[in-house]
């Protein structure tokens, strides 16, 4: 029997679909004879009492989740997401540099340092990637901090905001598609596949309505993993192989009949009735991995 | 050996600016000198770029992140037998009083505050400090008991310009573990023994002329020894 701590923050329970998924994990663990407790930030000191830690709160090296992950790792516990995966996935600069090094098919990307923001450089970027170009802050998640710019003025405006936090940004080729593929991967194996639809008239899965703070999300359509092209899974697994052996959500786009990686996320969203609707075993498989 | 530095060093050293290094593909053991190694800042990206190139680099990205997250710094230090005091990561005043008592010293564990600390001698001061460092209780803090004299020292390659063997010994051990060439250490001295409390960046204005000379001298020494990076 394994004792599993699931690190969560209060917001993880604010969406009933996520809450249901969290209880699905708990039920799957208990059914297999394991102990599964939700661990909140006030009880971080209890980590040594457990055999494994499963993080569901948003991860970033600057968030409490990293403290939890690294503490568990240093104590020799099994941990998802592990600190190395957090370090690579929370920083898209790190991730794209690895993709470049290991030749992972990806959306054309260039890096821009704070000191290099000048007219000549911006012109060169537009010449290479075309207009508009997508500007991505390294700490992007849930479609936030990703904006497009079609002229130097808006390019400067967006980068100025993103440079406040990070001294390097990623600039990508604008590649509009009707949906992004999302491939869930655990320990170098495909866990689930779905399509994250892009809302009509928008270009990302979670998009703001003009002039309003509300975010509209595209639909999530689960696809049986046997029914998707082998090449899709192959590219997704290759991207994860340069990061680690944890749990990832790989975003890919289909371009000219092939697949390119948009990004790999650690701590992927798992909502009951969405990511799990074609692959009901994902809860059990993640619990088995944690308790192995 | 390649020295990448955001600081203007005094001696006649072959030094490259971070922006130039980030645009290069130089494969050489690298020493990254910066007064601020914070995550997402240039100091971090220099080490990241060196690691991607496959260069041995001081400091590593992992050590940069871990040393700036106080609870991880203390956990790894404790494992390496570097003296530390008990600590608590929490957003609860009650828990701190029950488990550590008063007075306590608090360090921020949030994405925004990276410098300084607050001490609290009584409950109301503790509430104020928690509110401030926790950004209205939104984030946790790292609390440690105050048992002696609390002070800060500048550490350059693990060497301090202070006449105190205990503290110098502590700084050397911290450098051996985390390899942060330029940093500030917060230390407590209790009954003659030095305990590590936190590691933070140094403000550029805090670097005196003699500090720059010390840093330059150390780099020169390392480049002469040559094997420093492979240890």
CATH number at residue A23: 3.40.50.2300
Q: Are the C-beta atoms of residues B140 and B97 closer than 8 Å to each other?
A: no
- pLDDT tens for A192-215 read 999 999 888 788 887 776 777 777
Q: pTM for this one?
A: 0.94
Contact list, A101 vs chain B (CB under 8 Å):
52
Q: How far is CA B174 from CA B130, B171, B179, B194, in A?
A: 27, 5, 7, 12
- pLDDT tens for A10-25 read 999 999 999 999 999 9
**Which of B100, B119, B145 marks a domain boundary?**
B145
Q: Do A187 and A257 belong together in one domain? A: yes
Report how many domains make up chain A: 3
- Find the CB nearest B89 among A67, A114, A168: A67
Question: pLDDT band at residue B231, thresholds of 50, 70 and 90?
Answer: very low
Q: Do B155 and B79 belong together in one domain? A: yes
- What residues of A are in the B interface, CB distance below 8 Å? 41-42, 44-45, 60-64, 66-67, 70-71, 74, 83-84, 87, 91, 93-94, 97-98, 101, 111, 113-116, 138-139, 165-168
Contact list, B23 vs chain A (CB under 8 Å):
113, 116
Question: pLDDT band at residue A88, thresholds of 50, 70 and 90?
Answer: very high
How many contacts (CB atoms, under 8 Å) link A and B? 86
Query: Among residues of chain B, what percentage have pLDDT more than 90?
Result: 84
Q: Do A167 and A183 belong together in one domain? A: no
Per-residue pLDDT for A276 more than 60? Answer: yes
How large is the C-alpha radius of gyration of chain A? 19
Q: Do B34 and B118 belong together in one domain? A: no
Whether residue A113 and residue B109 make contact (CB cut-off 8 A), yes or no, is no
In degrees and rounded to multiples of 5, residue B182 shows phi and psi of -125, 115
Nearest to A265 by CA among A50, A4, A58: A58
Q: Which long-range contacts (CB under 8 A, 24 or more apart) does B217-223 make?
A: B217/B11, B218/B156, B218/B157, B218/B159, B218/B181, B219/B3, B219/B9, B219/B11, B219/B13, B219/B31, B219/B33, B220/B11, B220/B13, B222/B1, B222/B31, B222/B157, B223/B1, B223/B3, B223/B13
Structural domain harbouring B107: 88-145
Per-residue pLDDT for B228 more than 70? Answer: no
The mean per-residue pLDDT over the stretch A97-116 comes to: 95
Structural domain harbouring A240: 176-266
In degrees and rounded to multiples of 5, residue A153 shows phi and psi of -60, -50
Q: Choose from A92, A103, A137, A168 for mutation: most chain B CBs within 10 A.
A: A168
User: Looking at residue B200, which CATH number applies to its domain?
Assistant: 3.30.470.20
Contact list, A79 vs chain B (CB under 8 Å):
none
- Structure tokens of A55? 């993080």
Per-residue pLDDT for A141 more than 70? Answer: yes
Whether residue B72 and residue A93 make contact (CB cut-off 8 A), yes or no, is no
- pLDDT tens for B56-73 read 999 999 999 999 999 999
Q: ipTM of the predicted structure?
A: 0.92
Task: State the DSSP string of A66-99.
Answer: HHHHHHHHHTT-EEES-HHHHHHHT-HHHHHHHH
Contact list, B111 vs chain A (CB under 8 Å):
60, 62-63
Q: Are the C-beta atoms of residues A247 and A266 closer than 8 Å to each other?
A: yes
In a domain, A102, yes or no: no
Q: Do B80 and B108 belong together in one domain? A: no
How far does the CA of residue B221 sit from the closest CA of chain A (Å)?
31
Most confident of A198-212, B127-141, B216-230: B127-141
Report how many domains make up chain B: 3
Q: Mapping DSSP to helix (H, G, I), strand (E, B) and coil, where does residue A116 land?
A: helix
Q: Do B94 and B171 belong together in one domain? A: no
Q: What is the DSSP letter of B89?
A: E
Task: State the burial class of residue B226 (Cβ atoms within 10 Å of its Cβ: 0-12, 13-18, 19+).
Answer: exposed
**pLDDT for the residue B223:** 82
Contact list, A87 vs chain B (CB under 8 Å):
61-62, 65
The mean per-residue pLDDT over the stretch A213-222 comes to: 83
Residue of A nearest to B21 (CA): A113
- Find the CB nearest A42 among B71, B75, B91: B91
Q: Do B80 and B154 belong together in one domain? A: yes
Tell how far CA B101 is from the center of its chain. Answer: 26
Q: Do A155 and A133 belong together in one domain? A: yes
**pLDDT for the residue B229:** 57
Q: Do B59 and B8 belong together in one domain? A: yes
In a domain, A75, yes or no: yes
């Amino acid at each position: 029997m394994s004792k599993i701590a699931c690190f969560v923050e209060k917001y993880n329970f604010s969406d009933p679909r996520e809450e249901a998924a969290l209880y699905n994990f708990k039920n799957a663990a208990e059914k297999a004879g394991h102990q599964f407790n939700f661990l909140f930030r006030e009880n971080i000191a209890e980590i040594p009492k457990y055999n494994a830690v499963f993080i569901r709160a948003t991860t970033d090296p600057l968030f409490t989740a990293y403290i939890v992950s690294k503490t568990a790792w240093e104590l020799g516990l099994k941990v998802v997401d592990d600190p190395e995966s957090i370090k690579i996935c929370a920083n898209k600069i790190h991730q794209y540099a690895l993709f470049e090094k290991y030749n992972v098919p990806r959306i054309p990307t260039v890096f821009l340092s704070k000191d290099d923001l000048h007219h000549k450089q911006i012109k060169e970027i537009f010449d290479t990637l075309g207009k508009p170009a997508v500007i991505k802050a390294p700490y992007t998640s849930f479609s936030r901090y990703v904006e497009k710019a079609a002229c130097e003025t808006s390019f400067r405006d967006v980068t100025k905001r993103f440079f406040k936090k990070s001294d390097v940004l990623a600039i990508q080729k604008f590649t509009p598609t009707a949906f992004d593929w999302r491939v869930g991967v655990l320990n170098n194996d495909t866990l689930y596949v779905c399509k994250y639809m892009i809302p009509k008239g928008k270009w990302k899965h979670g998009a703001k309505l003009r002039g309003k703070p509300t975010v509209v999300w595209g639909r999530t359509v689960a696809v049986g993993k046997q029914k998707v092209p082998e090449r899709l899974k192959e590219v997704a697994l290759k991207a994860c192989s340069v990061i680690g052996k944890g749990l990832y959500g790989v975003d890919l786009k289909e371009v000219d009949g092939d697949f390119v990686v948009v990004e790999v996320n650690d701590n992927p969203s798992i909502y009951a009735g969405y990511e799990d609707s074609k692959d009901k075993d994902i809860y059990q498989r993640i619990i088995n991995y944690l308790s192995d | 050996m390649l020295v990448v530095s955001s600081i203007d060093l005094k001696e006649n050293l072959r030094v490259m600016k971070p922006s130039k290094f980030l645009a290069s593909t130089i494969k050489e053991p690298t020493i990254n000198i910066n007064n601020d190694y914070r995550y997402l800042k240039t100091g971090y990206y220099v080490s990241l770029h060196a690691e991607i190139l496959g260069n041995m680099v001081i400091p590593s990205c992992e050590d940069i992140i871990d040393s700036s997250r106080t609870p991880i710094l203390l956990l790894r230090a404790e494992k390496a037998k570097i003296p530390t005091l008990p600590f608590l990561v929490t957003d609860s005043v009650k828990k701190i009083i029950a488990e550590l008592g008063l007075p306590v010293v608090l360090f921020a564990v949030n994405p925004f505050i990276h410098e300084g600390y607050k001490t609290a001698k009584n409950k109301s001061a503790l509430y104020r400090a928690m509110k401030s460092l926790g950004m209205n209780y939104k984030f946790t803090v790292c609390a440690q008991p105050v048992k002696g004299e609390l002070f800060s020292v500048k550490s350059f390659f693990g060497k301090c310009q202070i006449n105190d063997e205990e503290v110098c010994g502590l700084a050397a051990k911290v450098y051996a573990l985390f390899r942060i060439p330029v940093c500030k250490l917060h230390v407590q001295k209790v009954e003659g023994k030095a305990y590590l409390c936190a590691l933070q960046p140094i403000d550029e204005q805090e670097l005196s002329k003699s500090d720059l000379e010390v840093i330059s001298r150390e780099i020169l020494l390392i480049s002469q020894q040559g094997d420093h990076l492979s240890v």
